Amino acid sequence: MKKILGIIPARYASTRFPGKPLADINGRSMIMRVYDQARKANCLEDVVVATDDERIANHVAMAGGKVAMTDPEHPSGTDRCREAMDKHGGDYDYVINIQGDEPFIEPAQIDTLGGLLDGQTELATLIRQIQDEEKLFSPNVVKVVTDIEGHALYFSRSPIPYCRGLENQEWMTVHDYYFHVGIYAYRTDVLREITRLKPASLEKTESLEQLRWLQNGYRIRTAVTNLDTHGIDTPEDLEKMKKIFG
């Protein structure tokens, strides 16, 4: 049984929703709802919030959660996870990076990802089948293609593969398309390695961090999830979720 640490990166600053982690959702903050859901996952040995803000750190600690203060200059959640892992201590085999703006994440999704972590897996993530044309052609939805064993071949903001000679509405009738669900698992030695890599050309072109790893020869295993995700990017998203989940 591999020892896995769950880390929830949480920043206070946000262009579209400042202070998002502390937003109230029916009496419980967003960050603590994520924390509570992560704690229900069977595969996680422990869960810690990684933040650069004292307000978030104090809030999590007061609510009974574990927290690690990290450098505010980190360029990504991956870098924040690496520092939090080192500060938290413990001899972990893997880290799972859980998005801090998904307060309704299903613990089963975390466990699905944990099921891929056999010691040989370097990196892993989840994917889900695309069901509508708008999502397929949206540059805000990251698409992924995999090999026959489920390793990611490429991630793109464009729909991949391209269906030559077909109208857009016909594409999903001839091929199953998948989008990326933003939860990552890293083998701890690989996490230390990838945070030392410089941004690569594919990453710069698509603005997708995972392309840096692929371009440097790392393998990313994927697992299909059928569960919905409900990321909250704006105050409007939050109000919608409050109505849905009551």
Spell out the long-range contacts of 62-71 with Cβ–Cβ below 8 A and sequence spacing 24 or more. Answer: 63/29, 63/32, 63/35, 65/32, 65/35
Q: How far is CA 233 from the centre of its chain?
A: 14
**Residue 28: phi, psi to the nearest 5?**
-135, 135
Number of domains in the chain: 1
Is 123 within a domain? yes
Is 76 within a domain? yes
pLDDT for residue 243: 67
pLDDT band of 213, cuts 50, 70, 90: very high
The domain that holds 212 is classified in CATH as 3.90.550.10
Residues 6+ away with beta carbon under 8 Å from 18: 12
pLDDT for residue 26: 86
Is 209 within a domain? yes
Would you say 7 and 50 are in contact if contact means Cβ atoms under 8 Å apart? yes
Closest CA to 195 of 47, 74, 50: 74
Is 243 within a domain? no
Is 38 within a domain? yes
For residue 151, what is the DSSP state?
Answer: B
State the Cα–Cα distance between residues 4 and 117, nearest whole angstrom.
Answer: 9
Would you say 188 and 83 are in contact if contact means Cβ atoms under 8 Å apart? no
Query: For 56, what's the count of Cα atoms within 13 Å in the CB-facing half-sphere?
Result: 28
State the Cα–Cα distance between residues 1 and 14, nearest whole angstrom.
Answer: 38
Domain residue limits at 25: 4-228
pLDDT for residue 176: 97
State the Cα–Cα distance between residues 69 and 77, nearest whole angstrom.
Answer: 13
**Residue 188: phi, psi to the nearest 5?**
-60, -35
Strand locations in 32-93 (E): 46-51, 67-69
How far lies 30's CA from each of 22, 214, 245, in Å? 6, 32, 13
Q: What is the mean pLDDT of residues 116-121?
A: 97
pLDDT band of 19, cuts 50, 70, 90: confident
Is 83 within a domain? yes
| pLDDT digits 0-9 by tens, 185-205 | 999 999 999 999 999 999 999
Is 245 within a domain? no
State the Cα–Cα distance between residues 101 and 71, nearest whole angstrom.
Answer: 20
Is 32 within a domain? yes
